Amino acid sequence: MHDQKYNPYEQMLEVMEKSAKMLNLDTRDYEALKYPERELKVAIPVEMDDGTVRVFEGHRVQHSSSRGPCKGGIRYHPDVDINEVKALAALMTFKCAVVNLPCGGAKGAIRVEPAQLSKNELKRLTRRYTAMILPLIGPEKDIPAPDVNTNEEIMGWIMDTYSMFKGFTVHGVVTGKPVEIGGSLGRREATGRGVTCIVEEVLKHEGIQAEGARIAIQGMGNVGGTAAKLLYNRGCKIVAVSDVSCGLYCESGLDINDIMQYIECKNGRRLLEGYPAGGSIRRIGNEELLTCDVDVLIPAALENQVTEKIARQVKARIIVEAANGPTTVEADRILEERGIIVVPDILANAGGVTVSYFEWVQNNQAVLWREEIINSRLEEIMLQSFKDVMKKAQDYNTTLRMGAYILAMERLVKAKKMRGIFP
């Protein structure tokens, strides 16, 4: 997936460095942040249903624990590599700092196309991976969660595997679990809900009415799908959506309820390519989706989507990054020159980890919060963080991305200084 030139970790370092310069930091204050604290690579053997054995590559990277236990998802994807996992782990460190959670950052991944595995193979893969990263994870040190192509069921298997090794049930080792086994109400929708809050805030800030605002969403998974639903109910006009198979466009706005019903069919998830188009709905490609004429573009798929070429053609006034790392550093520069507002991933999609943190708190205290409490606390944190980031961007006369990094960097460096370097 990644071309030679594109190294997500180097891109991450570039942004980090830039924020440190703007803050006039001494290198000794943030030198350690350039390196992940721990990286574990594992080879995961799995007995396949046909009796053969396949070995999958897996990673768990802990970027920083300066502000608390490491937190971050696990993704299953055929193209993941170590630089991507390192970058995503570092993003988690900054994301948790932006929303002021007492957590550090981590990320895990398995190089696999999960759609090609049977459910039992997926379960064996997950359990063996969990066993192999067991020395690193735990409720007091590193707490995984869902990410691309992983879900509640998989988190349940991780919780069970960890618990079997301990000899007792440990709810707090992983978040995003099914509610029946220690999951939190509202966690599934949390990232999409947080994205929706941010879209509403940024529209307000720009003086655009939410009702009728034109929106395009790349990716209709848990995050994109939830955001589409919530924004549609809010009265926004979702003119374009897409998934890996294709995109759909309708000038007068798509019927999101109908599309969601189609995707979430009884036997799992269906792809958009089978959705009956025609009449005012036409199929579009990825590039057309990213460059269509909208108020807000929401990339909610993978990284490296808004490239230099796309950035020059973007017609959206605002980009809200629901995915992690969807905009390259070069593209970001072009968007800034063009005056397009970009709400960065580390703020826009922080709703997921925020409710993960709530789940962990509930697990540690053995309590269950009501969904209204969770949603209102989530909204409070998203709105406050949006204000904090906006203020930093104004104070330093910079973009929202740099505002978010400056805010996070200040918090991280403070924590590092207070703790000091051991020994």
Residues at the contact surface with ligand GLU, assessed by CB under 6 A:
71-73, 145, 147, 175, 324, 349, 352-353, 356
Distances (CA, A) of 162 to 181, 226, 366: 14, 30, 18
3-state secondary structure of 322: coil
List the catalytic residue out of 71, 107, 177, 237.
107
> Is 291 or 349 the residue whose CB approaches ligand GLU more closely?
349
**What is the rounded CA–CA span in Å between residue 413 and residue 36?**
15
Least gap, CB of 174 to ligand GLU (angstroms):
9
Least gap, CB of 136 to ligand GLU (angstroms):
15
Q: Which of 154, 151, 157 is nearest to 264 (CA)?
A: 151
**What is the rounded CA–CA span in Å between residue 197 and residue 202?**
9
Least gap, CB of 192 to ligand GLU (angstroms):
12
> Is 254 or 412 the residue whose CB approaches ligand GLU more closely?
412
107 given a catalytic annotation = yes
For 41, list phi and psi in degrees, rounded to 5.
-110, 130
> Is 175 or 399 the residue whose CB approaches ligand GLU more closely?
175
> Is 72 or 183 the residue whose CB approaches ligand GLU more closely?
72
> Is 108 or 247 the residue whose CB approaches ligand GLU more closely?
108
Q: Contact at 8 Å (CB) between 84 and 99? A: no
Least gap, CB of 319 to ligand GLU (angstroms):
18
Is-cis flag, bond preceding 45, omega within 30? no
- Side-chain-side CA neighbours of residue 287 (13 Å): 6
Q: Which of 94, 43, 107 is nearest to 346 (CA)?
A: 94
- The tokens describing 252, both together, are 């007068």
Q: Which of 232, 198, 226, 187 is nearest to 379 (CA)?
A: 198
Please name the residues in contact with 30: beta carbons below 8 A apart, sequence gap of 6 or more. 16, 20, 409, 412, 413, 416
- The tokens describing 405, both together, are 């990094």
Q: Three-class SS string for 139-182?
A: CCCEECCECCCCCHHHHHHHHHHHHHHHCCCCHHHCCCCCHHHC
Least gap, CB of 147 to ligand GLU (angstroms):
4
Least gap, CB of 352 to ligand GLU (angstroms):
4
The residue number with the shortest CB distance to ligand GLU is 73
> Is 161 or 324 the residue whose CB approaches ligand GLU more closely?
324
3-state secondary structure of 393: helix
Least gap, CB of 357 to ligand GLU (angstroms):
8
> Is 98 or 297 the residue whose CB approaches ligand GLU more closely?
98
Q: Contact at 8 Å (CB) between 320 and 199? A: yes
Query: Looking at the annotation, which residues are catalytic?
Result: 107
